[in-house]
Amino acid sequence: MAKSSYRTALVTGASSGIGEQIARVLAGRGCGLTLVARRTERLDALAVELRERVPVDWIAADLATEDGVELVEQRLAERPPELLVNNAGVSSGGNFHELPVEAEVAEVRLNVLALLRLTHAVLPAMLRAGHGGILNVSSIAGNQPLPGFATYGATKAFVTSFTESLAFEVRGTGVHVTVLKPGYTYTEMSAGAPDPASLPGRLLWLDAEQVATAAVDAVTSGRLHSVPGATWKIADAVTQSLPRAWVRTLSSRVRAT
Ligand SMILES: NC(=O)c1ccc[n+]([C@@H]2O[C@H](COP(=O)([O-])OP(=O)(O)OC[C@H]3O[C@@H](n4cnc5c(N)ncnc54)[C@H](OP(=O)(O)O)[C@@H]3O)[C@@H](O)[C@H]2O)c1
């Protein structure tokens, strides 16, 4: 496995799913880690396992809260990593007006505001060093409106647009920013996912390790976009090239529930 060009990384949402796999891929490439999430037992178990390869510590933080974000901002200021992975995210399903507004606000705090704050906390140090990477985990869900997941789709549209803008602002500085846009991926977030051996499973669903490897490869080689899997590369190209009115109509037909 190729050695990582980043010697240290802070990964949010490292206690399960894509974030856990990103941590594993980075550790396998010799990158020391700070893991962030709320479930301390999970973080500790992963840290113990990965310490056989690289130095690992963890921070228990709820990034949907001011205290949690401040804690991680402080760490980023004191010990800026060479790579920041903004992966922690949640999604809520249902008609927006029927969902508890507190949960929708918490989703925006986590998916949008924490990502923005942590990026702001680390980017100046990376620019001063002339070296660094930021990997922001968005989703294909951010490409189009998503009835049934209105808040989630909007948060991911923010992540994609924000990262694409930053990419231009830091061009030529030695700092790379990458937006990861996975399609359906087998993780704890995907309750009710089909059997991996079924046709939809094989055609549409991604393995978290595959997604993590593609993402780390992209940020290491300075690529702005990472869309793992052939099916999702096509979906990404189609949703971005069709007129927006057609995309809106299509997405309302495949309304997520
Ligand atoms: N699975 C998919 O189909 C899919 C597709 C496209 C994009 N994504 C994106 O991939 C990212 C990872 O999701 P996943 O699929 O790997 O789901 P997951 O297994 O549920 O992982 C979510 C991670 O976020 C952390 N997290 C949740 N709320 C948090 C909070 N308030 N503060 C700090 N950490 C928090 C969780 O840790 P704790 O619960 O321990 O805090 C966990 O480590 C998300 O941004 C998601 O939107 C997923």
pLDDT at 1 (0 to 100) = 61
In a domain, 42, yes or no: yes
pTM of the model: 0.97
In a domain, 1, yes or no: no
Q: DSSP class of residue 57? A: E
User: Which residues have CB under 6 Å of ligand 1?
Assistant: 13-19, 37-39, 42, 62-64, 87-91, 110, 137, 139, 182, 184-185, 187-190
Q: Which CATH number goes with the domain that contains 70?
A: 3.40.50.720
Residue written as tokens 């991926």? Answer: 185
Please give the Cα distance from 197 to 223 (Å, whole number).
31
In a domain, 115, yes or no: yes
In a domain, 2, yes or no: no
Between CA 223 and CA 234, with CA 229 as vertex, the angle to 5 degrees is 90
In a domain, 90, yes or no: yes
Token pair listed for 141: 């869900």
Range list of H helices, the chain? 17-28, 40-50, 66-78, 101-108, 115-129, 150-169, 199-204, 208-220, 230-241, 244-253
Nearest ligand 1 atom to alpha carbon 68: 32
Residue of 33, 185, 186, 207 to mutate, ligand 1, most atoms within 8 A of C-beta: 185
152 an active-site residue?
yes
First-to-last CA distance in the chain?
Answer: 40
Token pair listed for 111: 């998916």
**153 in Cβ contact with 144 (< 8 Å):** yes
In the chain, which residues have pLDDT < 70? 1-2, 255-257
In a domain, 171, yes or no: yes
Residue written as tokens 């500085």? Answer: 173
In a domain, 192, yes or no: yes
Number of domains in the chain: 1
pLDDT at 28 (0 to 100) = 98
Residue of 73, 90, 160 to mutate, ligand 1, most atoms within 8 A of C-beta: 90
Domain boundaries, position 121: 8-253
pLDDT at 257 (0 to 100) = 38
Beta-ladder partners of 225? 179
In a domain, 177, yes or no: yes
